[in-house]
Amino acid sequence: MDKQNDCQICAGKNIIFPNGEKKIEEAFVEMRVRVGTLLKTDNVSFLLGSGTSIVAGGVLFSSFPKQIEMVLLKRGISKKGKRASGWLKLFYKTIQIITGTTIDIPNRYSQYTSIPPSAKIKAIGVNFETYLSRLYGWLECMTGDVVMLKLPDQNQVRINKKTLAKLIKEIVNTLTSVMNLALCKDGDTALRCSHRRFIRKILTRPLNLRRVNIFTLNYDTLIEQATDAEGAVLVDGFVGSLQRVFRPESYDLDFYFPAQTTEGRVHRFDRAIHLYKLHGSINWHKCDQSWENPYGLYAALYNANCSQDDTLIYPTPLKYGQVLGVPYSEMFRRFGNAIAQSQSVLFVIGYGFGDDHVNSLIRQSLAVPSVTIVVVDPTPKSEFLKQLESLGDERVWVIKGQEAGAFEKFVENVLPDLKDEEIEWKVVQTFQKLDPKATNKLEDSNGK
């Protein structure tokens, strides 16, 4: 693949860079300058989708994730590998109803359990959200214990309500366990983790600007792990020591420390970030409401039973109603407010624009003339984004291609370290003052 043509930024209808004549390194320099200018805007927010977790083993929902299917097979088939449970049979029957594809369960099981697993395994070609939504829809519409559904070949399949509920529970539990991701893969050094580098770079913004807002639709704790590893303070809406309870007013706090003089001046703490988990988190748990915990929500370590706490907004039709409840309504209120202020920049990374309630807020933000939206996606396919691009609005930037649009590559190649840029600029200024002729030599050496 030609890297030189696998990296571009579009603004409106005009491709800004790189052109076909420039080297990829020079294109990255230009990108970092442009993105660095946006990072110095007073109000900067990031919206992270599932694409940002792929580097750490996360899954995408455009098809049924193979990681989830593999766990379902191992849970649903007896140790001898001969007998499938009723809910697992129903899983493949419902796949047949929706896609018209018949799947041989023993063959599928042998493929996944072979050592190593077969490289021929293809993901089931059904959107995970569409599939799960269909299951929830059937369950809600069942007035009796049994319903008969027609297959594409006109045959009928009998669905038991309890078995369907069991299937949904197994899928949801598996999804939650799959989202329990580690920050770095085996053999990778902690300092090279993309999420740590991401946190490290956005913390280099000047202290006179507002705190960076990170809004994420992911359930995993990769941002929390990266922030802890970088020794930064994460303002995530929870306060406390032994039990961290949800207190949304904590988002309005800031951190300062006294100077080493007697003049009474204070300095702003430079290592703090605001995090908003719009669809919940695997480390959220419910409890009874009380005076000490008015929202009945606390944050702790992940546990295998967290899916039973019902603190996650799963990709189903019910999510549009769930976002109206606390704490999600508070999170979305702050998201809409942050991206609709003047002189604001929103970086959208790894999000496929599949949630209408999120898209509507992004659409509304463009009513503010000074708002800029930067979409980072290696292969954007959503109709919503196509509509944005068709408007020819220069406030909408789209960073495409594997070398710049993938999260880890964006962090490595495009997202600048503003302190390094500042030091480099001071060096250039010093050379200019000492010897103006040396400036051109310095620039030439840096460009190589």
Residue-wise pLDDT tens digits, 58-108: 888 888 999 999 999 999 987 666 788 999 999 998 998 888 888 889 888
- Domains in the chain (CATH in brackets) are 3-58+187-416 (3.40.50.1220), 66-178 (no CATH)
| Crossing angle of the two packed helices 105-113 and 86-99, in degrees rounded to 10 | 110
Average pLDDT over residues 308-326: 68
Mean pLDDT of 357-365: 93
Q: Looking at this protein, which amino acid is placed at residue 145?
A: D
Looking at residue 191, its pLDDT comes to: 47
Per-residue pLDDT, averaged over 288-301, amounts to 88
Q: How far apart are alpha carbons 340 and 40 in whole angstroms?
A: 17
Amino acid occupying residue 198: F
Statement: residue 266 has pLDDT above 70: yes
Site of tokens 């072979």: 114
Decide which of 268 and 4 is more confident.
268
- Quick check: 423 pLDDT over 80? no
- pLDDT cut 90: percent of the chain above it: 38
CA distance 127 to 133: 10
pLDDT for res 393: 87
As a whole number, mean pLDDT of residues 110-128 equals 84
For residue 4, the model assigns a pLDDT of: 44
pLDDT attached to residue 21: 44
Asked whether residue 15 carries a pLDDT value surpassing 60, the answer given is no
Higher per-residue confidence, 317 vs 359 = 359
What residues form DSSP beta bridges with 342?
A: none
Q: Summarize the confidence of residues 97-120 as an average pLDDT.
A: 84
Tell me which range, 136-145, 338-347, 379-388, is most confidently predicted by mean pLDDT.
Answer: 338-347
What's the confidence (pLDDT) of residue 17?
46
The SS3 call for residue 358 is helix
By the 8 A CB rule, do 372 and 344 touch? Answer: yes
β-sheet bridge partners, residue 15? 10
- The average pLDDT across 293-321 equals 74
pLDDT higher than 70, residue 151: no
Residue-wise pLDDT for 186-211, tens only, equals 545 544 589 999 999 999 998 889 99
What is the C-alpha to C-alpha distance for residues 282 and 218, in angstroms, rounded to an integer? Answer: 9
2-16, 252-266, 297-311: least confidently modelled range: 2-16
**b/e string for 263-291 if b means 16 or more Cβ within 10 A?**
eeeeeeeeebbbbbbbbbbbbbbeeeeee
Determine which of 21-25, 198-202, 299-303, 354-358 has the lowest per-residue pLDDT on average.
21-25
- Name the residue with higher pLDDT: 273 or 81: 273
**What sign results for the dihedral spanned by CA atoms 241, 217, 94, 148?**
positive
DSSP 8-state secondary structure symbol assigned to residue 77: B
d(CA 52, CA 409) in angstroms, rounded, equals 11
pLDDT confidence band for 29 (50 / 70 / 90): confident
Specify the range with the lowest mean pLDDT, choosing from 18-27, 52-61, 107-116, 331-340: 18-27
